[in-house]
Amino acid sequence: MLRFHLKMIKRNFLKDKKFLFNNILGLTLAFTAILFIYSWITYEKSFDKFYENSSRIHRFTVEFADAGSSRHFARVNTSWIKEFPGFFPEVEEMVRLVPGRNSSLKINNNKFYSQGVFSTDSNFFNAFNVKLIQGNANAVLDAPKCAVINQSIAKKYFGNENPIGKQIDWAHQQVPDFSTFTVTGIMPDFPKNSHFHPEILLSLDDPSQFAQWNYLYLLLKENTKPEAIQAKFSSFKNTYIEDEKSRESLVFHLQNVQDIHLYSHKDREIELNGDVRSITVLSIVAIVLLVVITLNYINFQIASVLERNTYFNVSKTFGAKRKSFVAQLALESVILIFISSIVSLGIYMLALPVVANWLNIDLILSTQTTLVIYLLALLFFVFLGVGCSIYPVFMSKMNGTISSLRIFNSGKSTSTDFSVRRVLVILQFVGGIGLIIATTVIIKQNQYLLSSRIGNEQDNIINLIKLPRKAIDNYEILKTELLKYPEILDVTATMEEPAGEVMDAFSYELEGMPEEDKDKVIYVLTTDDNFNRFYGNEIVAGEDFSENGDNTTKYLINEAGLKFFGYTNPNEIIGKRFKYNIPLPEKFFKEGYIAGVINDFHISTMQSSEKPMLLYNQPFFNYCVGIKYDPKRTSDVLVTLQNAWTKVNPDFALQHHFIDDLYFKLYKNQIRQSRFLILLAVVVLFISSLGLFSIAVYGIRKRTKEIGIRKVNGAKTGEVIVLLNQTFVKWVIISFVIAAPIAWFAMNKWLESFAYKTEISWWIFVGAGLFIFAIALITVSQQSFKAARRNPVEALRYE
Amino acid sequence: MIQLKKIDKYYDAKFQRTFVLKGVNLDIEQGEFISIMGPSGSGKSTLLNIIGFLDEPSQGEYLFLGDPANKLKEKQKVQYHRSHIGFIFQAFHLIEELNVYENIETPLVYRGVKGKERKALVADMLDRFNIVAKKDLFPSQLSGGQQQLVAIARAIIGKPKLLLADEPTGNLHSEQGEMIMKLLKKLNDEGMTIIQVTHSKENAEYGDRIITLKDGYVREK
């Protein structure tokens, strides 16, 4: 019997190669796409799970819940954290990780910058359970001026030499002069799915005295729940924080290291994190894909069963059981799924490096997971295959044998089959259209984010960011040097680079401010006097800084700040006395007045609203330099810049960034996601078209006689095509009517999570509709053209 | 062998009941060759389908070998299809994906006959119908008469006691039709009960008895 079934399946496959190919193609594409989606989700969820004790490592963060504003930093800078190990016996290890923002380094004669330099406690390797490649994990950072470098740095700067005992010179913003460290160990490179990537770890000079900004990690003892520590937070505060107001405004948080990548969006994260929303979006796409391929499969399966009606019914007359048809169809499903999964696995393996590279992530999927996916897919589709076989096979039982006989006698399907299949195709297209609209909106939003920059002047700018102290001090010399060259049009400086975060906020005194606002804080961004002209910011009221004049008492405020201060008319705030309460010598921020109001410019991510902030002309904190150049002489610019830099700052390497790259990096997750979504939308659309194609072929085949008769009666080819197409076109229109409002609603919801959002324009809907319409028309027209061109005699003989 | 008592077959539409068969009484003995005649839509095929368990009467009693058909379970019907009843059709209904040999073999596969025995039985059938040379051809490569030969071979390979033929010569030209009718007659002479539906008076004469249906009523001649 099995052999007979196999023979029938083989003959069937061979008889309708087009259907077979389409079916396998659809399944293969869907499987491959689902594998990739699953891989990506697995990757996003795999962050920081590779430590043996991940579940025990927590990051401690503090939220400053001041009146009217709340800031939650990923790092802490208070001295009382040193009391943690004594106060909480549940803490096994405490590790401070102090970022060396854009460290300047010298190894041998190489000068370079690194974002991966951290000063840390000597127990780092124990707490994170990192096995060293060279050196004793317990001792490498015990003494001051010790350094552990990762494998890549070792290979890049020491080559075949043994780096142990060699020296590294290090400086950064807060450490103006280079200090020398000795390499005592080599650690492995941290994997991509780590929320931070240290390249060089330095020992602290005096750990017991250290109290600067740092990321604080606590390794809890085994079987200790974080809640046990959280319960004692308030008693800790009562013991170590004297000021009652501070006690109230500080909220302590513990965050498991595995949750950082997806769920942490605090200020000053150690690196740019992912977003759990991306997983939601991908899961939805996976579900749409699964639904579309399922509908497609049902469609194919029903068509294929109906095509074999005669066979089934004749077999019944010589005693074949329904069970045996179902068995045959199930076997057919298994074979189809098997072929498709093997092919898709092959494609997945081949495409994996390309896709991983394109999306810049590590896609990891264990053999075990892959097997489980395939087993589930097999079960699912066998179930489905049997399901859609049972439907027509058992239909006869439900309605009495007569309906099956009617099919049998006329060799035609009933109208119910056709309408079931019509619903399936319509649903598929609803998925396709919905996904096109959604993808377009996502791309448009990303484009909008990417195109919004500081001010209106945003092209042809090179930025030097997070400069070392000495280079900041030499800024005016560098500026004068650069402006000697005609290809350099302008030079400015600011505290934060474009796409950076403005993070420093202090309490203030503003003339006429209400008493209850005295604990409020407002952000500050220091800039050069030409900052607004350079980036094209608009002066809404008052005046700009004067270039080459005295600006020490002038403060400019952005419109968000104006609102924050409770003003609606920008002119009213001009001239109001202003003073920052900053714990710094008076010379840094002098008492002064509000000299001007500027428009809200987007220095950082557009996912959150613009912060209320003041601009102040204080060169000491201008860590970043902006250089505007003549685009016609781009090739000269880099040479000029390199020469000027080497002349002014011979000790430091030059690291430059084009402004586009800075923003690109800021939105890299969104860009990655939209790229992937485009790919998936294409897949879904393609599968939907395969479904339409199959039903078109089937539907037109059934109307061969009608076409013949119409032609005999004088219908032209064009008229027949129109006649055949209009049914399918109607379906696409129905799909559009269903999909458009759903997509509109869903995308509105999605956009709500952005502070600045693009419009969901009408053309997206029209475009998506026309696009699908065109695809459907092309798909169906091929078939109807073929059918319409046929000689009517041939068509009639067919019956 | 077959007893039909007051058999009705009707379809209910919204406001109206349409009868296909009305009060059909019929007794058929083993070994008979019955021809059912009647104009289009008189219910001939429906009657044949009811006899062959492909359809069920709306009312009335049908006894097959003394067993009431309405009490037969699906399994028993399958069993009867496998061992007692063979069908042939006007449109032949050969399985297009299978060649001549395989088409004839199919009923045996469903009956679970072993491979060796199947081979012998099919070979015998091919030989008997003189189509050995055609055994590897597919239905589309055969003439109508040849296709009907194969269909008959397929219908009788299980040695059914009853052969139901729905206009077996309807799609054939007269010469081929005559050949098929002679073959049926021969099978009947060998002891097979045959019920055929036909339009042709000439073909109907091959039967022992002609039953005429008109508007669902039986007029036996």
Does the pLDDT of residue A406 top 50, yes or no?
A: no
A592-598 vs A539-542, strand pairing mode: antiparallel
Check residue A170 and give its pLDDT.
93
Alpha carbons B168 and B156: distance in angstroms, whole number = 14
Average pLDDT over residues A356-362: 78
CB A556 within 8 A of CB A598: yes
B81 contacts A317? CB cut-off 8 A: yes
Q: Is the Cβ of B56 closer than 8 Å to some Cβ of chain A?
A: yes
Instruction: Flag whether residue B98 sits within 8 Å of chain A, measured between CB atoms.
Output: yes
Tell me the three state secondary structure of residue A757: coil
Average pLDDT over residues A438-457: 76
pLDDT at A395: 57
- Out of B54, B102, B106, closest to residue A401 by CB: B54
B134–A contact, CB cutoff 8 A: no
Q: Which two tokens stand for residue A31?
A: 């499987």
Residues A660/A527, Cβ–Cβ less than 8 Å: no
Residue of B nearest to A402 (CA): B55
Q: Is the pLDDT of residue A414 over 70?
A: no
What mean pLDDT is reported for chain A? 85
Query: What part of A 286-325 touches B (C-beta under 8 Å)?
Result: 310-311, 313-321, 324
Best A6, A317, A410, A798 member to test B by mutation, with max B CBs in 10 Å, is A317
DSSP string, A72-98: EESSB--GGGGGHHHH-TTEEEEEEEE
pLDDT in the model for residue A457: 56
Shortest distance between the Cα of B116 and any Cα of chain A, in A, equals 14
Contact across the interface for A316 and B81, Cβ inside 8 Å: yes
Q: What is the pLDDT of residue B81?
A: 86
- Using a CB-CB cut-off of 8 Å, the residues of chain B touching A16 are none
Q: In what order do the strands lie in the sheet with A624-629?
A: A488-494, A624-629, A461-464, A657-658
**CB distance from B162 to chain A under 8 Å?**
no
Query: How high is the pLDDT of residue A794?
Result: 66
Prediction pTM value? 0.79
**3-class secondary-structure state, position A671:** helix
Kindly report the number of other CB atoms within 10 A of residue A523's CB atom: 21
CB contact under 8 A, B97 and A12: yes
| Nearest residue to B198 via CA among B181, B182, B183 | B181
Q: Which residues of B touch A316 (CB under 8 A)?
A: 54, 81
For A318, the closest of B45, B97, B106 (CB atoms) is B106
Put simply, the chain A residues between 730 and 789 with a CB less than 8 A from any chain B CB are: none
> What does residue A274 show for φ and ψ, rounded to 5 degrees?
-85, -165
What confidence tens digit (pLDDT) does each residue in A478-487 have? 999 999 999 9
Provide mean pLDDT across the span A719-728: 83
For every one of its 221 residues, what pLDDT tens digit does chain B have, with 9 covering 90 and above? 889 999 898 888 778 888 888 888 989 999 999 999 988 888 888 888 889 888 888 889 999 888 888 788 878 888 888 888 888 888 888 888 889 999 999 888 888 889 899 999 999 989 988 889 999 999 989 988 889 889 988 988 888 899 999 888 887 788 888 888 888 999 999 999 999 998 888 889 999 999 998 888 887 65
Task: Name the phi and psi angles at B191, rounded to 5.
Answer: 120, 0
Judge: A319–B110 Cβ closer than 8 Å, yes or no.
yes
Q: Which strands sit side by side in the sheet containing B217-220, from one edge to the other? A: B85-89, B162-166, B193-197, B33-37, B209-214, B217-220
Tell me whether strands A488-494 and A539-542 are parallel, antiparallel or unpaired.
unpaired
Q: What would be the CATH architecture of the domain defined by B2-220?
A: 3-Layer(aba) Sandwich (3.40)
- The confidence band for A454, taking pLDDT boundaries of 50, 70 and 90, is low
Residue A399 has pLDDT above 60, yes or no: no
Partner-chain contact B54 A317, CB within 8 Å: yes
**Residue B155 to residue A405, Cβ atoms within 8 A:** no
**List of chain A residues whose C-beta atoms are within 8 Å of the C-beta of residue B82:** 318-319
Name the packing angle between helices A668-702 and A276-307 (round to 10°): 10
CA distance A414 to chain B (A): 17
Query: CA-based Rg of chain A, rounded to a whole angstrom?
Result: 34
| Out of A4, A319, A409, closest to residue B81 by CB | A319
Half-sphere exposure of A200 (CA within 13 A, CB side): 33
Long-range (24+ apart) CB contacts under 8 A made by A395-402 are A397/A322, A400/B55, A400/B56, A401/B49, A401/B54, A401/B55, A401/B56, A402/B55
Q: How far apart are CA A305 and CA A325, in angstroms?
A: 10
Chain A residues with CB under 8 Å of B49 CB are: 401, 405
Q: Which of residues 209-268 of A touch B (CB under 8 A)?
A: none
Q: Which of B54, B97, B158 sits opposite A15 (nearest CB)?
A: B97
Asked if A15 is an interface residue toward chain B (Cβ–Cβ < 8 A), one would say yes
Domain boundaries, chain B: 2-220
Contacts of A318 in chain B (CB under 8 A): 81-82, 86-87, 106-107, 110, 154-155, 158
Mutant choice from B110, B118, B125, B147 vs A, greatest count of A C-beta within 10 A:
B110
| pLDDT of A1 | 80
Query: Which of A42-46, A561-565, A618-622, B217-221 has the weakest average pLDDT?
Result: B217-221
Per-residue model confidence (pLDDT) at position B110: 84
Pick the range with the lowest mean pLDDT from A187-201, A377-391, A720-734.
A377-391
Lowest mean pLDDT among A112-126, A612-626, A732-746, A766-780: A766-780
Tokens encoding B177 = 């039709």
Confidence of residue A708 (pLDDT cuts 50, 70, 90): confident
Beta-carbon contacts below 8 Å between A and B? 71
User: pLDDT by residue (tens digit) across A181-229?
Assistant: 999 999 999 988 899 999 999 999 888 877 788 999 999 999 999 999 9
Mean pLDDT throughout A592-621? 87
User: Can you tell me the distance from the alpha carbon of B118 to that of B110, in angstroms, rounded to the nearest whole number?
Assistant: 11
B chain contacts of residue A1, beta-carbon cutoff 8 Å: 109, 112
ipTM: 0.80
Residue indicated by tokens 């897949």? A683
Chain B residue with minimal CA distance to A1?
Answer: B109
- Interface residue B87 vs chain A (CB under 8 A): yes
Tell me the mean pLDDT in the region A702-718: 80
pLDDT at position A202: 95
CB of A1 within 8 Å of a chain B CB? The answer is yes
CA distance to partner chain B, nearest, from residue A10 (Å):
9
- Nearest chain B residue to A15 by CA distance is B97
Percent of chain A's residues with pLDDT above 70? 93
Please report the residues numbered 405 through 444 in chain A whose beta carbons come closer than 8 angstroms to any beta carbon of chain B: 405, 409
Q: Looking at the complex, report in whole angstroms how far the Cα of residue B155 sits from the nearest Cα belonging to chain A.
A: 8
- Answer yes or no: are the C-beta atoms of A710 and A404 closer than 8 Å: no
Question: What SS3 state is found at B12?
Answer: strand
Residues of A in Cβ contact (< 8 Å) with B155: 318
- Per DSSP, the three-state class of A725 is helix
When CB atoms are compared, the residue of A8, A314, A405 closest to B55 is A405
